[in-house]
Chains A and B, each alone.
Chain A
């Protein structure tokens, strides 16, 4: 199963010529934010930071789904896993995230039934073969994952599967960008916009944002050539005083996006308020159940109310997530907060900024 369209975007020659172009064009010191956690990891993995000119600082944004999940939500997941007769199904990233006093991984070691799945449809299968158990899927992620989870809810309804429900802790990217630019301390000269999310929502979804908050924005894919092209386009915009939306990932991202996926998403979910770690409450940035599907809402079924839980003492995840600090500025980084004993979620997720620094940063 060779992955098409990957090798050619890892080309050494092409990358080198892009780096030369960036070096030639970049004069002003700029702060560029890659919004997506997959970008952060890819940038580190390919050693892109080590070959960019000093004028370019890359900041990682609030695009790691696990990292922006509020502490109160994590606590609620853990609480739910302790309920009798409940099977928790989740993507792997969430397993190690520390709540206020435990993690799903530790709960599993204590005997709670917590299963890692690759898709919400795997959770449906588990619900089918365990009719006497309540199977809850922890829906964490952005517009990329939400449509398949919506599809699983529709399938559950079609199958009359009454022991399946979902916690929708999903978040939407565009409102977060707006919230970032409304935050006083945030100092960003351009956004490298997430490729995967944009495949679903389309380039058009950012038009209103860029109109209201003019700032250079480039949608980019995840291979080194994609990322370097995106950075190159951002640098060119900044150097020439432009503040436009450009698409450096046209092989995957269209203006209107994946309409089918959007329809699925909008059938099951509607926008609602959401709490983001580090940013706080952002109106219209979450996805809550539509009335017609609220039977599948695990927060209703189990009467879950999220408690305000303080973030761990001294943890700078919040400021790291909005680009105000880097992990190196956090007093806990690599001292009390390590991948083995993570204090904050940015040290846990494979897409987390602190974990990426710890794993790849040559400093």
Chain B
């Protein structure tokens, strides 16, 4: 049975998305910058190195504990630019709004965007708005693009992980994805969990001020930590080993994941990063991350190995081993 229509799986960030990008999209635009498949593009213009990234935001509900589509749209692109090792400077904002959308909600979204931009210290410098007839879009979709400057000596990329590198995770996982899920209509949980939506540029800058010898930076958004480290294992052709008991998950979040049959490793984050770096740099960089409010739970979760390139192995809490594969499509809640 072939897939001849777009399914929600195509947007999941997992294997189905990745196959679509490689098979349908890449061949059309084929060029060495895009082919790197990093969170953003690294460009060089007249000797100045720049990072450029774009992302489109659609989330339901639009407002949720810990954030809204507004700050998500700013933070997401700020973070994608930051993961290139760059200092994000300027953003564009494009909006597609459905006819009938309340102006009051638009104001709230814009307010959140303004606040997030100030917090991240970036300027929104250009924008566009389209209104489509009722039913042609689901309330509001936002696209943001961002551009940033890469300082000298910084050289990060998903293909740059090296055997022996230690892997730092900046905090608890699955907070954003599970918050959204529990807020969706029809799910009547009262859990007190919040999205981790936050800009990571200040954290990245303080990391880089401690060490320029960081090989990989990546924010594990859609597809979660599990999918992101698989991408890096593939891009860098290295093996990765992680340790289950080191990966921080809030108790409440772990509880809801358990209840619904979700694996927190594959649930989205919006304010966390993974950094791959040589052991000599760990101490300094880790303490720089921990000084940031969004990084207080940061820790080393694993290392890069020379066994089984492209594969991620996890040592389980009880001392067993298993594969951590890339997610296939959307995680679906289970029956029992």
User: Are both chains from one complex?
Assistant: yes
Query: Which A residues form the contact surface with B (CB < 8 A)?
Result: 1-3, 6, 10, 12, 15-16, 19, 38, 44-51, 65-66, 91-93, 95-96, 98, 101-103, 105-106, 109-110, 116-118, 122, 125, 140-142, 144-145, 196, 224, 228, 339-341, 349-351, 358-362
From residue B68, how far is it (CB to closest CB) to chain A in Å?
24
Q: Which residues of B contact A1 (CB under 8 A)?
A: 189, 191, 251-252, 255-256
For B308, the closest partner residue in chain A by CB is A362
In the bound complex, CA of A142 to CA of B336 (Å): 9
Query: Is the beta-carbon distance between A102 and B1 smaller than 8 angstroms?
Result: yes
Among B91-99, B206-214, B215-223, B317-325, the stretch in contact with A: B317-325
Chain A to chain B: the 3 pairs with minimum beta-carbon distance, closest first: A47-B320, A92-B332, A15-B318
State whether A2 touches B251 (Cβ < 8 A).
Answer: yes
Residue among A106, A117, A341 making CB contact with B7, cutoff 8 Å: A106
- Contact check, B316 vs A340: say whether CB atoms are below 8 A apart: no
Q: Are B336 and A360 in contact (CB under 8 A)?
A: no
| B336 CB contact (under 8 Å) in A48, A65, A362 | A65
Q: Say yes or no: is B333 at the interface (Cβ < 8 Å to chain A).
A: yes
In Å, the complex CA distance between A141 and B333 comes to 14
Q: Which of A19, A45, A98, A125 has the most CB of B within 10 A?
A: A45
Q: Which residue of A lies closest to B314 (CB)?
A: A47
CA–CA, A98 and B7, complex, Å: 14
Known contacts A47-B318, A91-B333, A118-B187; 15 further A-B pairs (Cβ under 8 A): A2-B254, A2-B255, A6-B258, A16-B318, A45-B263, A46-B318, A50-B321, A50-B322, A66-B335, A103-B1, A109-B6, A196-B336, A339-B329, A340-B16, A350-B334
> Could you tell me the distance between the alpha carbons of A233 and B177 in the complex, rounded to whole angstroms?
39
Between-chain CB contacts (< 8 Å), 12 pairs? A16-B319, A46-B317, A47-B316, A47-B319, A47-B321, A93-B335, A95-B332, A101-B1, A109-B6, A341-B1, A359-B323, A360-B323
Q: What are the residues of chain A within 8 A of B256 when measuring CB–CB?
A: 1
Residues in chain B near residue A98, CB distance under 8 A: 1
- Indicate if the CB atoms of B5 and A48 lie closer than 8 Å: no
Residues of A contacting B329 in the complex (Cβ-Cβ under 8 angstroms) = 96, 339-340
- Chain B positions near chain A (C-beta within 8 angstroms): 1-3, 5-9, 15-16, 19, 186-187, 189, 191, 245, 251-252, 254-256, 258-261, 263, 313-323, 325, 328-329, 331-336
Which residues in B have their C-beta under 8 angstroms from that of A224? 316-318
Contact for A359 among B245, B317, B325, B335, CB less than 8 A = B325
Say yes or no: B186 contacts A117, CB within 8 Å: yes
| CB-nearest residue of chain A to B19 | A340
Q: Is the CB of B328 within 8 A of A141?
A: no
Select one of B259, B314, B334 contacting A93, CB under 8 A.
B334
- Contact of B7 with A91 in the complex, beta carbons under 8 Å: no
Which of A48, A145, A341, A361 interacts with B335 by CB under 8 Å? A145
CA gap between A66 and B335 in the complex, in Å? 9
A141-B335 in contact given A118-B187, A340-B16 (Cβ < 8 Å): yes
What's the Cα separation between A359 and B227 when bound, in Å? 12
User: Chain A residues near B255 (CB, 8 Å)?
Assistant: 1-3
B55 to chain A, nearest CB (A): 23
Question: Does the CB pair A46–B332 fall under 8 Å?
Answer: no
Residue of B nearest to A7 (CB): B251
Asked if residues A141 and B251 are in contact (CB atoms below 8 Å), the reply is no
Q: How far is the CA of A360 from the CA of B332 in the complex (A)?
A: 18
Q: How far is the CA of A202 from the CA of B48 in the complex (A)?
A: 71
Partner of A51, one of B2, B9, B319: B319
Knowing A12-B318, A46-B320, A362-B321, the reply to whether A118 touches B260 (Cβ < 8 A) is yes
The answer to whether A48 touches B320, judged by C-beta atoms less than 8 angstroms apart, is: yes
B139 to chain A, nearest CB (A): 19
A350 to B330, CA, bound (A): 11
Give the residues in chain B near A16, CB-CB below 8 Å: 318-319
Whether B1 contacts A340 by the Cβ 8 Å rule is no
Picked from B16, B260, B319, the residue with its CB within 8 Å of the CB of A12 is B319
Residues of chain B within 8 A (CB-CB) of A106 are: 3, 5, 7
- Given A3-B255, A38-B336, A110-B5, the answer on whether A358 and B325 have CB atoms closer than 8 Å is yes
B316 / chain A contacts, CB cutoff of 8 Å: 45-47, 224
Nearest residue (CB) in B for A49 is B320
A91 touches B5 (CB 8 A): no
Considering the chains assembled together, what is the distance between the CA atoms of A142 and B82 in angstroms?
A: 49
Whether B332 pairs with A144 at a CB distance below 8 angstroms is: no
Q: Please give, as numbers and ranges, the residues of chain A lying within 8 Å of B328 by CB-CB distance.
A: 339-340
Known: A106-B5, A358-B325. A50 touches B334 (CB 8 A): no
- In the docked arrangement, what's the CA distance between A106 and B1, Å? 10
Which residue from chain B places its CB closest to the CB of A48 in the assembled complex?
B320
